[in-house]
Homo-oligomer: A and B are copies of this chain.
């Protein structure tokens, strides 16, 4: 039974990150054919934006070292397949394979910029500028990830103006969409709405914003609801909650796409996703990874869909 709530978007686009952000953070290295099959099943379940892989140096992210082999195997799917590009070299590799949606990965904090990119925030923005320009010139859409938008493990709470500055810089260099990441999962709904309002005031429209929540403290879905109430209509999620083991003390799992779809379906918000097929895909993938999905919806529905998973 779908019961709409007031002032929510009629349609939400899910930006599925399981194959990239999810698998990048899994210990197991997944064979290229399994990744391709995973992406095909996600498309078959109705997801229309499926982040496929990352063209970073294999030394940094060995889990995604097969980007060159994987991308051509899925490139013909009738869906949008963004890929992560860390620099100009990664962008050229992606463009050469026909990628037409790329993403750069910035940080709102100096500590994480240093840890993740070995640069200051400004140095990393300077590194991304030619990447974004070249991508736009080549006809590619560009997403800018902004991590640590709410809290940072070294710096604690992150001031809103600091996040806004990075977002504006990415918009100014040409990013079409920004994904606001709560990388350590500490955000709560008031903080989410205050960041969104401040971004609007500084000229960044809600239509250019996506949210990317982690479920470390169980807050991802309520933060998503707060963002939808502000008008955000693009939500990042990871099929089955892939990425970050739920049994580790420092679990940092992504919002599970199934838990998100359950809420959106109940609200009568169109996503195009078939929840049964998606759950079956996550059950299948959990089998390949050798551990159960941390998604509550997959746990609850998995029993009924497991029978037609293959």
Interface residues of A (CB under 8 A from B): 1-6, 151, 156-157, 185-191, 193-194, 215-219, 221-222, 224-226, 246-247, 249-251, 256, 259, 262-263, 265-268, 292, 295-297, 299-300, 302-303
Contacts and interface: CB of A to CB of B under 8 A. Distances in A.
8 contacts: A5-B193, A5-B226, A6-B193, A188-B266, A188-B267, A218-B221, A218-B259, A222-B224
A151 B3 CA distance: 13
Contact of A1 (B2, B4, B191, B222): B191
Contacts of A267: 188-190
Contacts of A188: 3, 262-263, 265-267
Contacts of A247: 292
A219 B303 contact: no
Nearest to A301: B217
A218 B295 contact: yes
B266 A3 contact: no
A246 B292 CA distance: 11
Copies of the polypeptide in the assembly:
2
A259 to B, nearest CB: 4
Given A188-B263, A225-B225, A225-B226, A249 B299 contact: yes
B5 A218 contact: no
Contacts of A191: 1, 3, 266
Given A188-B262, A222-B221, A222-B225, A216 B246 contact: no
Contacts of A292: 247
A222 to B, nearest CB: 4
B249 A218 contact: no
Given A6-B193, A219-B259, 14 more contacts: A1-B151, A3-B190, A5-B226, A189-B263, A189-B267, A190-B267, A191-B266, A216-B296, A217-B296, A218-B297, A219-B221, A222-B225, A250-B300, A251-B296
Given A1-B157, A251-B296, A303-B250, A268 B218 contact: no
A193 to B, nearest CB: 6
Given A221-B218, A262-B217, A299 B246 contact: yes
B262 A300 contact: no
A189 to B, nearest CB: 5
Nearest to A151: B1
A219 B263 CA distance: 7
A222 B267 CA distance: 12
B3 A296 contact: no
A190 B221 contact: no
Given A259-B217, A262-B188, A300 B249 contact: yes
Contacts of A193: 5-6
A4 to B, nearest CB: 5
A225 B262 contact: no
